[in-house]
Copies of this chain bind each other. A is one copy, B any other.
Amino acid sequence: MVGFMNEEAFRRTVETGFATFYSRSRNKLWMKGESSGHRLVVKEISTDCDKDALLVKVEAIGPGVCHDGYQSCFYRRLENGAWVVSEPRAYDPDAVYGGKA
């Protein structure tokens, strides 16, 4: 998954060991998995050459990271010019998010 962290989200990620983001649409911090239980346990954090991106390696708790019900958010692959779903659904998002996903 790709998410936005501000400084506070980064600090909480490091302190708690659970990946935490900042929602720019809802203007609030959110720990990934706070409603679904699908938390991300941080294993390693790297930053890139210009220090404006983080690569956070995690152990994912639960069947999937994506709120659409897939293991990965990157569940569509380009094939002959079209986006094709490339993995089976890992869980039912309605059952987990109650239609709020």
A residues apposed to B, CB below 8 Å: 1-2, 14, 44-49, 51, 53, 55, 66-68, 70, 73-78, 81, 83, 86
Q: Which residues of the other chain, B, contact A67 by a CB distance below 8 angstroms? A: 49
Chain B nearest CB: distance from A39 CB in Å?
Answer: 18
Q: Nearest 8 A-B pairs (CB), nearest first?
A: A46-B74, A48-B73, A45-B78, A2-B53, A55-B74, A49-B73, A49-B68, A46-B77
- Name the contact of A14 in the complex, choosing from B53, B66, B78 (C-beta under 8 A): B78
A74 with B86: CB separation less than 8 A:
no
Chain B nearest CB: distance from A42 CB in Å?
Answer: 9
Sample of 6 more A-B contacts, CB < 8 Å, known A2-B48, A48-B74: A14-B81, A46-B76, A46-B86, A48-B75, A49-B70, A49-B73
